[in-house]
Amino acid sequence: MADKAPAIELKGISKAFGPVQANKDISIRVMPGTIHGIIGENGAGKSTLMSILYGFYKADKGEIFIAGNKTEIPDSQAAIAAGIGMVFQHFKLVENFTVLENIILGAEDGRLLRPSLAKARKTLLELEREYGLNVDPDAVIEEIGVGMQQRVEILKALYRRADILILDEPTGVLTPAEADQLFRILGRLREEGKTIILITHKLREIMEATDTVSVMRRGEMTATVKTSETSPAELAELMVGRKVLLRVDKTPATPGDVVLDIKGLKVVDDQGVERVKGIDLQVRAGEIVGIAGVAGNGQSELLEVLGGYADATGEVTLNGQPLDLSGRYSDGRSRRTRGIGHVPEDRQREGLIMDFSAWENTAFGYHRSDAYQSGMLLNNAAIRSDTEGKMERFDVRPPDPALPAKSFSGGNQQKIVLAREIERNPDLLLVGQPTRGVDIGAIEFIHQQIVALRDQGKAILLVSVELEEILALADRVAVMFDGHIMGERLSAETDEKELGLLMAGVEG
């Protein structure tokens, strides 16, 4: 029997944006009924390549073959007609529409909506049964979790009869449990003959989920290998062009005096729901305390209060002196003055102004400092010069202070925020999701900077949904569930299984 034609074959794909060569003469074959991973650092050209396949961009040169047939894909409608669906990292759903309305949006069967909805409901139930993608068709998008929203995106593609699914960083917004469920669904899709392209920077996901993996670096394809015949260390080296330390290299902590002391902290949201329910916690100088837990169990609210973004009741002291929690003086500026640095969970919404330049972003929150003043005006030249130094020390690429924040990859955006906060020499650093959406080379660097700050005797409170990251970085772990701290463990004396039980509300 003749070999099957590749589900997708790209030949000699090149794409430039001005002087930047995003893709350079890329060729790749993806076989039907497989999960094919594509990995590379941020800015390696992965998303550009897939955007060409999905019709968002037109290649400067090269050819696309679908199931052995040369195919022109000038736009996303042509991609959908060719049986290609794409699930983007940031979901493209109308939040005040129902699941069913989102499924049929753009694929209605005529002017009358009712028959389209009836047909879609029947098809949706069949797809749910076939692939294990259970969702409530009448649920409103803004009222369901991100894991469920992702299922809706997959169902949208399947409803349009996609045989090829492209998923771009699909676990960037998911909890570990939601990610595990996603990969079970992808396995089911593969069993049913679907072809899946998985774009990710997480080596664990590549090793666990894919059949084949292609590695990109600086716009070029450096290797394609069977997943069973490679290793995380080999893939990391192919990604960044050098050996990468896949573990956090640190000495045992030597905790000093209590820097942050929290007693009976309670946080109530705008709807009157108690999100943090009377927790007690201490963080000492020279230690990293990690907060583990499934997203939505009070960790974000804890960071918001400590960072000056939200009100609370209870007692919080910094170096023995109380912090005001009433909202009257509870703002980010007063927190920074007291020696609290804050790397927020969402760098694009809370850490940066995306349309502003890198040099402007490095000054935000600290623009009133003497080093940045020239009489009554800002000394822009001094800020730019300071930013150049920060970009060099934190390896921000490209090292151009004039570029807007939106022009940098996610990892480099995170480095800009870290440089701004760490170089202010805070007594306490709050870090939320330090490596979310960040590639492996930048992860290694960010971890090194956090450990270096600890070794300078600073206190660090770390929140991450990545248990592996918590265990690697933190000296002590506190687990939050439903607004409570379920327990504390020394990282060296616990494991993912024990912490997972505490995260599920099972007391040890």
Q: Would you state the structure tokens that stand for residue 15, as one six-digit string?
A: 């794409």
**CA 129 to centroid of chain Cα atoms:** 30
Q: Do 8-240 and 258-354+425-503 share a fold?
A: yes
Strand 212-217 to strand 195-199: parallel, antiparallel, or no bridges (unpaired)? unpaired
Peptide bond into 176 cis (omega under 30): no
- Residuewise pLDDT in 10s, the chain (508 residues): 346 899 999 999 999 988 889 999 999 999 999 999 999 877 788 889 999 999 999 999 999 999 999 999 999 999 999 999 998 877 788 888 888 888 888 766 655 566 677 888 888 888 888 887 788 888 898 888 777 888 888 888 888 888 999 998 888 667 667 788 888 889 999 998 999 999 987 888 899 999 999 999 889 999 999 999 999 989 988 888 777 766 788 999 999 999 999 999 999 988 898 999 999 999 999 999 999 988 789 999 999 999 998 899 999 999 999 999 986 545 777 899 999 999 999 898 899 999 999 999 999 988 878 788 877 888 899 999 999 999 999 989 889 999 999 988 788 899 999 999 999 999 999 999 998 767 777 888 899 999 999 999 999 999 998 888 999 999 999 999 999 999 999 999 998 889 888 988 887 6
| Cross-sheet strand order for the sheet of 258-268 | 274-284, 258-268, 313-318, 321-322
Instruction: Find all residues with CB under 8 Å of 46, minimum gap 6, and list them.
Output: 38, 39, 40, 168, 199, 216
Domain ranges of the chain: 8-240, 258-354+425-503
Q: CA distances (Å), 210 to each of 38, 73, 203, in order? A: 10, 26, 10
Strand 84-87 to strand 20-30: parallel, antiparallel, or no bridges (unpaired)? unpaired
Strand 61-66 to strand 84-87: parallel, antiparallel, or no bridges (unpaired)? unpaired
List the CATH code of the domain at 8-240. Answer: 3.40.50.300
Nearest to 284 by CA among 391, 117, 478, 427: 427
Would you say 22 and 220 are in contact if contact means Cβ atoms under 8 Å apart?
Answer: no
Which amino acid appears at position 151 of this protein? Answer: R
List the CATH code of the domain at 258-354+425-503. Answer: 3.40.50.300
* Per-position DSSP letters for 165-232, written without gaps between them: EEEESTTTT--HHHHHHHHHHHHHHHHTT-EEEEE-S-HHHHHHH-SEEEEEETTEEEEEEEGGG--H
